Amino acid sequence: MAKPGTPLFLERGSYRQRRMMDAVKLIAILGAGLWMIPLLWPTAEPGTAQAVSLSQALLYVFGVWWFLIAIAYVLARNIRDMPEQSDETEAM
Amino acid sequence: MGKHVLLVEDELNIIEAIRFLLSREGWDVDTHSNGTDAAEVIRDRKPDLVVLDVMLPGKSGFDILEELRGDAQTADLPVLMLTARGQSRDREMAEKAGVSRFMTKPFSNTEVLTAVRDLLYVHGQRT
Amino acid sequence: MASLNVLVAVSLAYVFLLFCVAFAAERAGVQGRAGWLLRSPLVYTLSLSIYCTAWTFYGAVGYAARSGLEYVTIYLGPSLVIVGWWWILRRLVRIGRSYKVTSIADLISSRYGKSNGLAIVVTVMAVIGVTPYIALQLQSVTASLSIFIAAQHGSLAESGDAHAAGLWISVGLALFTVLFGTRNLNVNERQHGVVIAVAVEAVVKLIALLAVGVFVVWGIAGGVSETLARIDASSLGTWQMNGSRWAALTFVSAAAFLCLPRMFQVMIVENDDERYLQIASWAFPLYLMLMSLFVVPIAVIGLDLLPAGSNPDFFVLSLPLSQGQEGLAMLSFLGGFSSATSMVIVATLALSTMVSNHVVMPIFLYLRQGGATQSGDVRNVVILSRRLSVLAIIGFGYIYYRASGGSGALAAIGLISFAGVAQFLPAMLGGIFWRGATRAGAFVGLGVGFSVWVFTMLLPSFGPGAALSVDTFANGLFGLGWLRPQALFGIPGLDPTVHAIFWSLLLNGVSFVLVSLMTFPQPLERLQGAQFVNVFDHSGQTRGWQASVAESEDLMIMAQRILGAREAQRLFQAEAQRQGRGDYLPEPTADFLQRLERELASSVGGATAHAMISQIVGGSAVSVQDLLAVADESAQMLEYSSQLEAKSRELSQTAAKLRHANAKLMQLSDQKDAFLSQISHELRTPMTSIRAFSEILRDTDGLGPLEKTKYANIIHVEAIRLTRLLDDLLDLSVLENGQVTLNQQSGSLVDVLDQAVATAEASEARSIAIKRRRLEETVTLHTDLDRLSQVFINLITNAQKYCGSDTPELQIVVQRAGDSILVDFIDNGSGIPVASREVMFEKFSRIGAEDAAGAGLGLAICREIMTRLGGNVNYLDGTGGTAFRVTVPGRQALAAQ
């Protein structure tokens, strides 16, 4: 829903800002997806050899964590100077 | 006798006729043809009888009559009223206003004379 | 060897330090100094760390020792929420800041039409949900103390000492909260002291946990790889995860992160700047990650090294102690102490705000109706009630702690609390994302969710036979099989925690949505809903309380919708004039707004009117569109009544017409009576003379010949007068019945006028100066010249009779207008009164009772004649005197006839 008066196409800077917003919105979904992957792991039944070891699980969960923090950091840096603009409805 | 009659009427020919009739009977006939100051004139001239037309310029005969009856000096003055408008409503209004005698035009000369005579006689008896 | 006394001394010193920090921050905040620190994203992020309570500080290790990696879900949920700040937090913060929200109860009640009932429900639920949590903190601190004592004396301390410690800690916390948490009445004035103290404690607990972790990994295990090897070798070594718990706990911790009153306090209420969220979006997950990083190693090493039967909940303390690291243990104790105290302080603060604002104050105001007008008085009451609430809540926590006697694993109590407050989630999210959410829906959803939570989670947590009988566990409530607290609807096999979370939130959400769909919100609810859901569309620019002229326009538009365009414009115009602003919109002065509100209130009711005006003028961010939506609804309601109004207006119009017609008829009827009198008079007057003189001639002897002739002549003249009258009557009658035959001839207008003037002058005694311009009159006419002349004569004689001027003068002006010729007769008399113009062309009509001369037929005859001739005669307005215009049609018009 474009508001009257907002341009149809944005200049390069604003365009990048918009894509950063999109990334911010997606990152939580990505994180949720990655953290739910352990649900697919085989659980430790007696006799199953492939059970994921706790250290691996630990590394995976914390790896995802680090990854999310890094992305969030980069995105926050990029949109920090974003002017207060009422682009929300357009962007939602 | 020399009784004094004041005729208030605006039609010249009718004034002429009534003056002729009454003068011949020996009365002193005075005329006035405006309604506006008629009551004042009557009070001034102190006639023994007034012959009053209803449709007068300036003020209607009914109003003049009411004014006369409202004044103690003229409350008993005999008034003969003449009207050309023959409706019964006029007669009622005149009687309400306190008319002594009411006649519709065209009148017969003898009737007028009889009426005037009666009124003057009654009035004379009373005073 | 650190003695207990040293520990107590260090704790007291630490508490003293916290008091100093809080005091300094409060001072600095009041003096406006150190804003860079007090209002910084760093402090904001650190204050969020009250999420990590003693439960997470101590309990996480215990949790990991029992259930492996599951503990991490408690951190994953909040991490996801804050990483995805764009979705929910940004909106909540904006709403919180825009509408001065003071608590989650306030948010929910404001959203649903400022319903205090809802606020009370949320408050009660929050108190019930959070009090055990506060008890948990007290328990953890006293328990950690007893670990120290045990390490020193080789036996557990007397429980009496622990209880005394718990009491003193409660008193200290209450004191701190009262001192620094209830200084300001306005919640939007930040509690700097508390926030800074919480931030300091956040740093302390992080450092403490990291220190223990580093010591364990590098000091005991000997490095990262060795640690990982020991982890895999331990009893927790493989992935043993109940998938449903993993997902459910992640979800419920995310929900609790949003709904916990203390989190709402630091995250939404104490937020200074929305942009802090961007920093917090990576910094807080980092904090959480660091807090949980060493949990598994500590748990594994603790299980390895400590004797079996040691409480894993306190490995963080007992591990350093067992290794002789007194200082580290001390630091660890301070970390746990910090976690517990910061949580209790903020949670108490948040709850006391809710209790005081939504329970105590309404009751107080209700009890002293009308007496609450002195503002200072009420301010004191608010602060007092908030302080009493603080004491009461900490008191409850202490009582609960004493009553429960430290039973159950820490994690269990924490989860129960999380699931309890998570019941706010549907109402809160529904409120800020869905305009269709209604108060009734929120009530029912909260009620259902809370009941299910109590039945499936809170009561069973006391164990079979405690709150719920063993029979109820086995066979369901009232013996109904589908009402078993851990197998609702006869679906067994779910993990009890997952079961409770799943059913309570599902039934909560479903009933919330269903009831919302079925009920209709009140106007205020709709207004608030629109504002909350569309908070970003409006709050971009900050509006002051001073209304601007631009808002006048908004007010105007809204007023038009509600009052109707004409009424609104009239109102605004009158006001603009009063303000001397001419045609511009008026300034929205307080005066005018009050008047406008009253006007609106008469249409839509007082409350709505007030809300509407204050929303537009008060700078709050509802759009005109939103108001119009509500206004339209009111308009629909008003439409019916306006239809009725239109009908009654129609009726009254008809009645007015009828009255008008009736008046005209009455007038005509009066005129007819007057006319009959007049006709009678006109006929009888000449007859009187005729009769009188004929009788004189007949009865009087001795009349001279002169007199005889004179009287005969009078009779003759009067007879002619009678004849003329009868002629007129007949003439009119013939004209009216259309029986007249026109005698069409050609001739010059000059001649017709000449003849008419001559005739008029001859017949009427009163003379009048007639001005003509003969040159203009040289017009050839083709019409009935005699009839036209009759009209002219009538008009001229009328002027002669009624002019009334001392020097009567009549102007005859001729001009052409297309094919027609206009002949105007203008005298210098007094004119005709407007009232008489309408009827003077009617027959029987006479102007003024005193005009004895005419019978009122002349003008009627003139009009009839001119109509016959295809022309017209009208009164001519605006000449100063009496004027008539005769319109004579030209040849063509006549030919066409």
Annotated domain spans of chain B: 4-122
> Does the pLDDT value for residue C323 go beyond 80?
yes
| Angle between helices C116-153 and C315-322 in degrees, nearest 10 | 20
pLDDT at res. C512: 92
**CB contact burial C610-645 (16+ within 10 A = b; e otherwise):** ebbbebbbebbbbbbebbbebbeebbeebeeeeeee
Chain B positions in Cβ-Cβ contact with residue C674 (cut-off 8 Å)? none
Chain C positions in Cβ-Cβ contact with residue B24 (cut-off 8 Å)? 700
pLDDT at res. C486: 67
User: For chain B, how far is it from start to end, CA to CA, in angstroms?
Assistant: 15
> Does the pLDDT value for residue A53 go beyond 50?
yes
Mean pLDDT is lowest, of A5-14, C118-127, C339-348, for A5-14
Q: State the Cα–Cα distance between residues C309 and C75, nearest whole angstrom.
A: 27
Smallest CA–CA distance, residue C581 to chain A, in Å, is: 31
Q: What is the largest CA-CA distance in chain C?
A: 173
Q: State the Cα–Cα distance between residues C615 and C289, nearest whole angstrom.
A: 43
Smallest CA–CA distance, residue A10 to chain C, in Å, is: 20
Q: State the Cα–Cα distance between residues C717 and C712, nearest whole angstrom.
A: 9
DSSP B103-119: EESSPPHHHHHHHHHHH
The residue among C645 and B25 whose pLDDT is bigger is B25
Judge contact between C556 and C572, C-beta under 8 A. Answer: yes
**CB contact burial C32-71 (16+ within 10 A = b; e otherwise):** eebeeebbbbebbbbbbbbbbbbbbbbbbbbbbbbbbbbb
Q: Do chains B and A touch (3 or more CB pairs under 8 A)?
A: no
pLDDT at res. C623: 46
Q: State the Cα–Cα distance between residues C695 and B106, nearest whole angstrom.
A: 11
Mean pLDDT is lowest, of C162-176, C448-462, C578-592, C675-689, for C578-592
| Residues in C 709-728 with any Cβ partner in B closer than 8 A | 714, 717-718
> Does the pLDDT value for residue C547 go beyond 80?
no
Mean pLDDT of A7-21: 68
Pairing of strands C883-888, C872-875: antiparallel
Query: C4-406 — its CATH code?
Result: 1.20.1730.10
Q: What is the CA radius of gyration of chain C?
A: 51
pLDDT confidence tier of residue C511, bands split at 50, 70 and 90: very high
Mean pLDDT is lowest, of C291-295, C338-342, C401-405, for C401-405
Which of C693, C699, C717 minimises the CB distance to B17?
C693
CB contact under 8 A, C229 and A25: no
pLDDT at res. C619: 42
Per-residue H/E/C for C347-402? HHHHHHHHHHHHHHHHHHHHHCCCHHHCHHHHHHHHHHHHHHHHHHHHHHHHHHHH
C243 and chain A in contact, CB less than 8 A = yes
The residue among C110 and C61 whose pLDDT is bigger is C61
Q: Count the domains in chain A.
A: 1
Judge contact between C343 and C351, C-beta under 8 A. Answer: no
CB contact under 8 A, C246 and A38: yes
pLDDT at res. C424: 92
> Does the pLDDT value for residue C340 go beyond 70?
yes
Q: State the Cα–Cα distance between residues C52 and C205, nearest whole angstrom.
A: 9
**Which residues, 6 or more positions from C24, have their beta carbon under 8 angstroms from its beta carbon?**
C196
Q: Do chains B and C touch (3 or more CB pairs under 8 A)?
A: yes
pLDDT confidence tier of residue C605, bands split at 50, 70 and 90: very low
pLDDT at res. C799: 85
pLDDT tens, position by position, C861-896? 888 888 888 888 888 887 778 888 998 887 644 433
Q: State the Cα–Cα distance between residues C25 and C46, nearest whole angstrom.
A: 15
CB contact under 8 A, A28 and C84: yes
pLDDT at res. C370: 46
Query: Which two structure tokens, joined as six digits, stand for C722?
Result: 């009678």
Q: State the Cα–Cα distance between residues B79 and B71, nearest whole angstrom.
A: 14
**CB contact burial C117-130 (16+ within 10 A = b; e otherwise):** ebbbbbbbbbbbbb
> Does the pLDDT value for residue B38 go beyond 50?
yes
CB contact under 8 A, B86 and C696: no
pLDDT confidence tier of residue C401, bands split at 50, 70 and 90: confident
C696 and chain B in contact, CB less than 8 A = yes
DSSP B8-75: E---HHHHHHHHHHHHHTT-EEEEE--STTHHHHHHHH--SEEEEESS-SSS-HHHHHHHHHHSTTTT
Q: What is the pTM of this model?
A: 0.58
> Please, which chains are in contact with A (at least 3 CB pairs closer than 8 A)?
C
pLDDT at res. C1: 42
pLDDT at res. C616: 63
Name, of C213-217, C601-605, C666-670, C676-680, the range with top average pLDDT: C213-217
pLDDT at res. C446: 92
pLDDT at res. C510: 93
A79 and chain C in contact, CB less than 8 A = yes
CB contact under 8 A, A28 and C87: yes
Task: Name the percent of chain B lying above pLDDT 70.
Answer: 97
Mean pLDDT is lowest, of B100-109, C352-361, C837-846, for C837-846
pLDDT tens, position by position, C274-322? 888 888 888 999 999 998 888 888 888 888 888 877 778 888 888 888 8
Pairing of strands C780-783, C809-817: unpaired
Chain C positions in Cβ-Cβ contact with residue B85 (cut-off 8 Å)? 677, 680-681, 684
pLDDT confidence tier of residue C132, bands split at 50, 70 and 90: confident
Per-residue H/E/C for C757-791? HHHHHHHCCCCCEEEECHHHHCCEEEECHHHHHHH
Mean pLDDT of C706-718: 89
Q: How many CB atoms lie within 10 A of CB C383?
A: 16
Q: State the Cα–Cα distance between residues A45 and B63, nearest whole angstrom.
A: 129
Q: State the Cα–Cα distance between residues C452 and C469, nearest whole angstrom.
A: 17
Beta bridge partners of C816: C821
**Which residues, 6 or more positions from B116, have their beta carbon under 8 angstroms from its beta carbon?**
B5, B22, B25, B27, B49, B51, B80
C674 and chain B in contact, CB less than 8 A = no
Judge contact between C220 and C323, C-beta under 8 A. Answer: yes
The residue among A88 and C14 whose pLDDT is bigger is C14
pLDDT confidence tier of residue C843, bands split at 50, 70 and 90: low
A58 and chain C in contact, CB less than 8 A = yes
pLDDT at res. C444: 93
Residue A62 placed within a domain: yes
Q: Give all strands of the β-sheet with C820-827 in edge-to-edge order.
A: C769-772, C809-817, C820-827, C883-888, C872-875
> Please, which chains are in contact with B (at least 3 CB pairs closer than 8 A)?
C
Q: State the Cα–Cα distance between residues C597 and C379, nearest whole angstrom.
A: 28
The residue among C533 and B117 whose pLDDT is bigger is B117
pLDDT at res. C639: 67
pLDDT at res. C203: 92
Judge contact between C313 and C169, C-beta under 8 A. Answer: no
Q: State the Cα–Cα distance between residues C606 and C524, nearest whole angstrom.
A: 11
Residue A84 placed within a domain: yes
Name, of B82-86, C392-396, C832-836, the range with top average pLDDT: C392-396
Query: Which two structure tokens, joined as six digits, stand for C111?
Result: 């959203």
pLDDT at res. A1: 42
Name, of C446-455, C674-683, C760-769, the range with top average pLDDT: C446-455
CB contact under 8 A, C680 and B87: yes
Which of C680, C695, C700 minimises the CB distance to B85?
C680
DSSP C160-229: HHHHHHHHHHHHHHHHHIIIIISS-SSTTS--HHHHHHHHHHHHHHHHHHHHHHHIIIIIII-SHHHHHH
The residue among C528 and B105 whose pLDDT is bigger is B105
> Does the pLDDT value for residue C87 go beyond 60?
yes
CB contact under 8 A, C246 and A65: no
> Does the pLDDT value for residue A84 go beyond 50?
no
pLDDT confidence tier of residue C897, bands split at 50, 70 and 90: very low
Smallest CA–CA distance, residue B84 to chain C, in Å, is: 5
- Domain B4-122: give its CATH superfamily: Response regulator (3.40.50.2300)
Smallest CA–CA distance, residue B120 to chain C, in Å, is: 21
Name the CA dihedral angle for C41, C42, C47, C52, rounded to a multiple of 10 degrees.
120
**Which helix (H) or strand (E) covers residue A54, if one does?**
helix A54-79
pLDDT at res. C636: 60
State the amino acid at position B22 in one-letter form: L
Tell how far CA C101 is from the center of its chain.
17
> Does the pLDDT value for residue C745 go beyond 90?
no
**Nearest CA-CA partner of C622 in C746, C515, C539, C694:** C539
The fold for domain C740-896 equals Heat Shock Protein 90 (3.30.565)
Mutation for testing the B interface, residue in C677, C691, C721 having most B CBs under 10 Å? C677
pLDDT tens, position by position, C724-737? 778 878 887 777 77
> Does the pLDDT value for residue A44 go beyond 60?
no
Residue A42 placed within a domain: no
pLDDT at res. C410: 54
CB contact under 8 A, A27 and C84: yes
Smallest CA–CA distance, residue C238 to chain A, in Å, is: 4
Query: C645-734 — its CATH code?
Result: 1.10.287.130
Which of C681, C718, C850 minimises the CB distance to B13?
C718
Q: State the Cα–Cα distance between residues A92 and C213, nearest whole angstrom.
A: 43
C685: nearest CA in chain B?
B84
Task: Name the percent of chain C lying above pLDDT 90.
Answer: 6
Q: How many CB pairs under 8 A join B and C?
A: 64
